[in-house]
Amino acid sequence: MFKSSLLYLFFLLSISLFSQEQISLISWNIQDFGKTKNSEELDRMADILRDADIVAIQEVVSGYGGAQAVAKLADNLNRKGAKWDYVISNPTKSSKYVTERYAYIWKTKHIKIKNRGALISELDSLVDREPFFIDFYIDGQKLSVFNFHSRPHNKNPEAEITAIANYLLEIKPEGPVIFAGDFNVNERETVFVPLKEAGYKSTVKNAKTTLKKECKGKGYLNHAIDNIFYSKQISKVDGRVIDFVKFCENVLIARQLSDHLPVLLKFEME
């Protein structure tokens, strides 16, 4: 009887462990993502992204061609073995000189949404491009994602990051939270300390994510500025930069897709 009870307990524990869903999220600044991207380039992007469950994209062109490029990328992903859906933000409106859109693309088998997301209007006076927020429901469990593209490194992106960090710490979203994007600041800098003290962790540490215009000196990688921060309700399984360049001679053709590399977070939610 005792032996049977132990076996049954082990069986239940095994089901619990193996049924826990692992989710992969990729964040990618796709430079000038719009009508300049041709069919072959969109298919190359789909090959890079196809194993993810959720994709957060920055730098979607706000004018004609941006929304169409996202739709075409989602269509290419649909042809690679899974069903995907997508949402595109309204154009950011904080500054008419740097307006752009954001996008999310995700596999629909286990991931649902209840609305189409929204730019965070409360921050529009504090940042050039308001973050794009959405709640995903993964087998019923909520995951809140914030997608952000900061202003350039020489225009005080630290002030924007501070404003968003204060916002996150003030509203205290329920459940797991991801804050992803191109921050134009290295995760080691002190501006991220308040988030880290609140339990947020960075997916990669001092990992270079931008591409030089040509391969010279110490290779083709430049600045460590793209990342995915995740709250304490998330357990990282894997985190890395997806280097689709590989060799110096591939830099020019890689930059046809973007001057940034994607960042991947594979995780479980508590």
Spatial distance between the Cα atoms of 240 and 228, rounded to a whole number of angstroms? 10
Q: Hey, which residues does 27 pair with through a beta bridge?
A: 56, 263
Q: Is residue 136 part of a domain?
A: yes
- pLDDT tens sequence across 92-142: 987 667 899 999 999 999 999 999 999 999 999 999 999 999 999 999 999
Determine what percent of the chain is predicted with pLDDT higher than 70: 92
pLDDT reported for residue 95: 67
The CA–CA distances, whole Å, from 206 to 83, 107, 177, 224 equal 34, 30, 21, 6
Number of domains forming the structure of the chain: 1
Whether residue 266 is predicted with pLDDT greater than 80 in this model: the reply is yes
CATH number at residue 212: 3.60.10.10
**How sure is the predictor about 20, in pLDDT bands with cuts at 50, 70 and 90?**
low
- pLDDT tens sequence across 212-238: 999 877 899 999 999 999 999 999 999
pLDDT reported for residue 13: 44
Whether residue 86 is predicted with pLDDT greater than 80 in this model: the reply is yes
pLDDT reported for residue 89: 98
Q: Is residue 194 part of a domain?
A: yes
pLDDT reported for residue 19: 41
**How sure is the predictor about 37, in pLDDT bands with cuts at 50, 70 and 90?**
very high
pLDDT reported for residue 98: 81
Whether residue 35 is predicted with pLDDT greater than 50 in this model: the reply is yes
Q: Is residue 40 part of a domain?
A: yes
Decide if 178 contacts 145 (C-beta within 8 A): yes
Decide if 180 contacts 145 (C-beta within 8 A): yes
Spatial distance between the Cα atoms of 178 and 218, rounded to a whole number of angstroms? 32
Spatial distance between the Cα atoms of 96 and 158, rounded to a whole number of angstroms? 20
Domain with 167 in it = 22-269
Q: Is residue 7 part of a domain?
A: no
- pLDDT tens sequence across 38-85: 999 999 999 999 999 999 999 999 988 999 999 999 999 999 999 999
Q: Write out the DSSP string of 40-80.
A: HHHHHHHHHHTT-SEEEEEEE-SSTTHHHHHHHHHHHHHTT
Q: Is residue 5 part of a domain?
A: no
pLDDT reported for residue 2: 45
Pairing of strands 177-182, 141-149: parallel
Let me know the angle formed at the C-alpha of 238 by 233 and 241, rounded to the nearest 5 degrees.
Answer: 115
Q: Write out the DSSP string of the chain.
A: -HHHHHHHHHHHHHHHHHHSPPEEEEEEEEEEESTT--HHHHHHHHHHHTT-SEEEEEEE-SSTTHHHHHHHHHHHHHTTTS-EEEEEPPPP-S-TTS--EEEEEEETTTEEESS--EE-GGGTTT-SS--EEEEEEETTEEEEEEEEEPPPGGG-HHHHHHHHHHHHHHH--SS-EEEEEE-SS-TTSGGGHHHHHTT-EESSSS---BB-SS--SS-SB----EEEEE-TTEEEEEEEE-----SGGGHHHHTTT-SB--EEEEEEE-
Q: Is residue 10 part of a domain?
A: no
- Read off the tokens for 96: 């008419």
Decide if 57 contacts 103 (C-beta within 8 A): yes
Whether residue 184 is predicted with pLDDT greater than 60 in this model: the reply is yes
Phi then psi dihedrals of residue 219, to 5 deg: 95, -160
For the chain, the average pLDDT equals: 92
**How sure is the predictor about 210, in pLDDT bands with cuts at 50, 70 and 90?**
very high
Q: Is residue 17 part of a domain?
A: no
**How sure is the predictor about 1, in pLDDT bands with cuts at 50, 70 and 90?**
low
Q: Is residue 12 part of a domain?
A: no
